[in-house]
Amino acid sequence: MTVVGRRHDPRARGFASDKQAGVHPEVLRALALANEGHQSAYGDDVYTEAMEEVFRAEFGPQAHVWPVFNGTGANVVGLRAMCAPWEAVIRAR
């Protein structure tokens, strides 16, 4: 039998990565609501449509949105948008 419970101190803060923080309570509630029932996938759903409306209201009708899973995905999309097909970004660690 697996016992489910908190195993960390929720007061501890780490800022090395966005993956260290918990989900904001409002986001968690929205995810729980979106998790009920079925929706089409890959951007053909009411949530993506609502997100696009919010971005266009803020940035104008020409705005496009590409939701990604995490910060690395956002970095890849952003760098790809700035580079020509024959260009690349090389970074040493």
Rounded to two decimals, what is the model's pTM? 0.62
Q: Are 72 and 19 in contact (CB under 8 A)?
A: no
Q: Per-residue pLDDT for 1 more than 70?
A: no
Q: pLDDT (tens digit, 9 = 90+) per residue, 34-46? A: 899 998 888 889 9
Q: pLDDT (tens digit, 9 = 90+) per residue, 20-31? A: 778 889 999 999
For residue 15, what are the CA distances in angstroms to 21, 22, 24, 28, 92?
A: 8, 12, 15, 20, 22
pLDDT score, position 86:
94
Q: pLDDT (tens digit, 9 = 90+) per residue, 54-91? A: 999 999 999 988 888 888 889 888 999 899 999 988 88
33 vs 70: CA distance, rounded Å: 21
